[in-house]
Amino acid sequence: MVSTSVVPVLITTFLASAVEAIEMVTIVVGVGATRGWRSTIIGTLSGFGVLAVVIAVLGVALQRIPIGPLRLVVGALLLVFGLQWYRKGITRVAARGFAGIGGQDPEEAEVWKGEGMDWTAWFLAFKGVVLEGLEVAFIVVAFGAGANQMGAAIVGGVGAVVIVGGIGLSLHQTVRRIPRSFLQLIVGTLLTTFGTFWSLEGLGVDWPGSDLAIVGLLVVYALSAAGYISLERNRIGGLKAAA
Amino acid sequence: MTLERLGSWITAPFRFLYHFIVGDDWTVAAVVLVTLIVIGFLNSNHIVSWWLMPLVAILMTGLSLRRHAVR
């Protein structure tokens, strides 16, 4: 079976998962700090339980499909999804540069003084982990299946959540300063690159230079992102000057 | 529970998936799909077509950026 090497799979799934983990950790730490940790941690663990089931079921199902059609479908999905992040990354980096997400703790989080389970904290943590984590699960499963490297994809995804989670718990404010927009642009570029490569491979297209074409695509997409960022900055500068 | 609410619950996962994968600009997904069909056709006729998708992806990103700037 054709497989992509481990390193690009690890890097892409790690970075993509880190982008979502930053938001996930910000929500969990915000809820835990204001409403108490017990219910927040139970909500977080429940969320991870749901995600583990999603990854296991989808991962096993996708590994039974032949690699050709799988790459066409997975590649097309990654390309469409990647182009979304690519455009958002360009817009955000042009507007905010390397700034972190900043923001405030969830509005719903009020100080909890009751006894027993705080279901608001549980639900906020659960919802934060599941909603942000579904994107991680999608990328890990799709990327792992497309590259035929499910193990490496899971290691990359879980590694990012553990590292960002560790930073979030020990250095609460540091997580907010990680340049999420720039990470999103890098991941958008990587997903667009692999999505382009795999979807066309799934159609039976021969890429010039075989796997080396991935590097070429990466350079082309990175250069066009740099060009679009420059154009967006000029447009924003023009709007500010006119105001 | 009303039928309307039940329908909303049933369609919620599909709405989530659509919003999650396609996002706020469906034209990009539509053009990517059409391009894949065109490339499949060209490839089956032994016409070199690998260059088409990167070109379309870059052009559609530019158009999508422009559309969002106008909004």
In this prediction, residue B30 carries a pLDDT of 96
Nearest to B43 among A138, A205, A232 (CB): A205
Q: Which of A130, A200, A218 to mutate to test the interface with B (most CBs of B within 10 A)?
A: A200
Interface pTM, i.e. ipTM: 0.90
Q: Are A202 and A60 in contact (CB under 8 A)?
A: no
Q: What are the extents of the domains in chain B?
A: 23-71
In this prediction, residue B26 carries a pLDDT of 93
Determine the residue type at A2: V
Is A148 within a domain?
yes
Is A182 within a domain?
yes
The pLDDT averaged over each successive group of 10 residues in chain A (243 residues) is 73 86 82 81 90 83 80 90 92 82 47 66 84 82 84 88 83 69 87 93 91 93 96 85 74
Placement of tokens 């958002």 in the chain = A88
Placement of tokens 């009751």 in the chain = A114
User: What does the pLDDT average to over B35-49?
Assistant: 95
Q: Are A144 and A47 in contact (CB under 8 A)?
A: no
Is A57 within a domain?
yes
Query: Which residue range(s) make up the domain with A234?
Result: 6-242
Q: Which two tokens stand for residue A228?
A: 């679009």
pTM score above 0.80 = no
Asked whether the beta carbons of residue A76 and residue B54 sit closer than 8 angstroms, the reply is no
In this prediction, residue A3 carries a pLDDT of 62
Determine how many CB atoms are found less than 10 A away from the CB of residue A242: 6
Contacts of B40 in chain A (CB under 8 A): 203
Count up the domains in chain A and report the number: 1
User: DSSP assignment, residue A171?
Assistant: S
**CA pair distance A39, A52, nearest whole angstrom:** 20
In this prediction, residue A105 carries a pLDDT of 43
Helix axes B3-21 and A119-147, enclosed angle (nearest 10): 50
**CA pair distance A115, A92, nearest whole angstrom:** 42
In this prediction, residue B44 carries a pLDDT of 94
In this prediction, residue B62 carries a pLDDT of 95
In this prediction, residue A131 carries a pLDDT of 80
Q: Which two tokens stand for residue A175?
A: 């997580």
Q: Which of A81, A87, A193 to mutate to test the interface with B (most CBs of B within 10 A)?
A: A87
In this prediction, residue A108 carries a pLDDT of 41
In this prediction, residue B3 carries a pLDDT of 77
Distance from CA of A165 to the nearest CA of B (A): 23
Contacts of A135 in chain B (CB under 8 A): 20
Lowest-confidence pick of A36-40, B24-28, B54-58: A36-40
- B67 compared with A98, residue with greater pLDDT: B67
Is A101 within a domain?
yes
Contacts of B65 in chain A (CB under 8 A): 87, 90-91, 228, 231-232
Asked whether the beta carbons of residue A90 and residue B65 sit closer than 8 angstroms, the reply is yes
Report how many Cβ contacts below 8 Å link chain A to chain B. 80
Summarize chain A as % helix, strand, coil (round to 5): 80, 0, 20
Asked whether the beta carbons of residue B20 and residue A134 sit closer than 8 angstroms, the reply is yes
Closest-CA residue to A161 (of B13, A153, A33): A153
